[in-house]
Amino acid sequence: MHYFCSTIIDGAVNTYINTTIEVIDGSSVCIGSCRQLLERLLPEGRRIIVITDATIDRLYRSLLEPYECFVIGVGESGKTLHTAAALYRKLIETEADRSCFVLGVGGGVVTDIAGFVASTYMRGLEFGFVSTTLLGQVDAAVGGKNGVNVDGFKNMVGTFNQPKFAICDTEMLKTLPEREFRAGLAEVIKAAVIADTELFELLENSSPAELRGNGELLSRVVTSAVKVKIGIVSRDACEKGERRKLNLGHTVGHAIEKCSHTMNHGEAVAAGMAAAVRMAEVLKVLPSADGERILRLLERYGFDLTLPATPRRLANAILKDKKITGDTLNMILPEGIGSCRIFAVPKSEIGELLCKQHKPEKVRFAENP
């Protein structure tokens, strides 16, 4: 099989060099060939336990063959304590102990649950990830948030615990359905809006099809997005402050996901980012030319920015979020391309802010407000 063969480090084109970026406490994100990186990174002489899902098990059978594999069901509905308990039982049955190394291989659901189970079984096993989705490579697998959903509330139980490594092999994204690939691009656009003007411009001068078809360009984009995330996580691993910026588009995005039932996470984040742009325009913290560029990029990347519910329904969904406490809500709003800030918005004003738009003709609601 041909493996991806070139990447760019600090502007220099190399024929084949893995990019390794240190996150924190000996944890790194490695961009390059999965097989080669696994050979280098998996601890020698230890029992390796792979946690993966049925799709990845089928697609990457030859990669996973040498390892003991625990296979979970596919999809967000399985990211539960029930699945975690099944994995704990399997670990007990097979007499796994603290010397075992857990390798989560899959998208965000798999790496979240594998990281959570590894972090909690016997008070913690070492673990690493091979991230197989674009969304996972630029967000979910990076930064040490591991967890499960409880009663439909997302990531209510979990840990902050960094994997020893997260491997991002852009070659693996070739097996990703087109819609999933595009969903990951929402998180890439998010990273660019938060802190990388150059990445934003690169995305403006490219397209989803071009990125998908050009391994070198894609690995450059993944590397840049990962660097944005790592930069923030290395300063605030446990989300006491700055890390909240990574939630750009997510406050409204999670509400959109709850109200829509058809949009996936990336699509909801894209629509949530558009809502954040419009809020920033209402509050006059974002120059409208920059707002236009962000909205145009999101639309050009194929995202439907229509809000799937009324502002009232969305506001209710936002305020039901169990993780929001106190009278204010931390809204992450862009102040320009490559810069955003955390705003404490009174909860009572969220509905109005969703309704009141600087340029109402640009706002589309699927239901009448």
Q: How far is the CB of 84 from ligand GLY (least distance, A)?
A: 19
Is residue 164 part of the annotated active site? The answer reads: no
Q: Residue for token digits 């999965």?
A: 34
Please check whether residue 165 is in contact with residue 42, taking contact to mean a CB–CB distance below 8 angstroms: no
Catalytic one of 82, 123, 240, 323 = 123
Q: How far is the CB of 243 from ligand GLY (least distance, A)?
A: 5
Q: Is residue 53 a contact residue for ligand GLY (CB under 6 A)? A: no
How far separated are the first and last CA of the chain, in Å rounded?
A: 53
Q: Is residue 182 a contact residue for ligand GLY (CB under 6 A)? A: no
Q: Could you give the dihedral angle defined by the CA atoms of residues 289, 227, 303 and 133, in that order, rounded to the nearest 10 degrees? A: 180
CA atoms of 73 and 241, how far apart (whole Å): 35
Is residue 229 part of the annotated active site? The answer reads: yes
Binding test (CB under 6 A) with ligand GLY, winner from 57, 139, 180, 267:
139
> DSSP readout, 90-124?
HHHHTT--TT-EEEEEESHHHHHHHHHHHHHGGG-
Pairing mode, if any, of strands 126-131 and 145-150?
A: unpaired
Number of residues that bind ligand GLY (CB under 6 A): 7
Binding test (CB under 6 A) with ligand GLY, winner from 154, 212, 220, 243:
243
Is residue 76 part of the annotated active site? The answer reads: no
Q: Residue for token digits 């084109």?
A: 13
Catalytic one of 182, 190, 220, 229 = 229
Count of all residues that appear for the chain in the document: 369
Q: Is residue 138 a contact residue for ligand GLY (CB under 6 A)? A: no
Binding test (CB under 6 A) with ligand GLY, winner from 27, 50, 102, 145:
145
Is residue 265 part of the annotated active site? The answer reads: yes
Q: How far is the CB of 154 from ligand GLY (least distance, A)?
A: 11
Q: Which is nearer to ligand GLY, 122 or 238 (CB)?
A: 238
User: How many Å separate Cα 99 from the centre of its chain?
Assistant: 29
Torsions phi, psi for 139 (to 5 deg): -140, -75
Q: Residue for token digits 């397209």?
A: 207
CA atoms of 92 and 261, how far apart (whole Å): 36
Residues in contact with ligand GLY, shown as a per-residue x/- string from 271 to 310 under the rule CB under 6 A: ----------------------------------------
Q: How far is the CB of 132 from ligand GLY (least distance, A)?
A: 17
Q: How far is the CB of 247 from ligand GLY (least distance, A)?
A: 6
Q: How far is CA 237 from CA 103, 158, 183, 250, in A?
A: 21, 14, 25, 18
From the list 89-97, 128-136, 242-250, 328-336, the region that binds ligand GLY by CB under 6 A is 242-250
Q: Is residue 147 a contact residue for ligand GLY (CB under 6 A)? A: no
Catalytic one of 79, 250, 278, 313 = 250
CA atoms of 23 and 26, how far apart (whole Å): 7
Is residue 239 part of the annotated active site? The answer reads: yes
Active site residues: 123, 145, 187, 229, 239, 243, 247, 250, 254, 265
Q: By the criterion CB under 6 A, which residues form the site for ligand GLY?
A: 139, 143, 145, 239, 243, 246-247
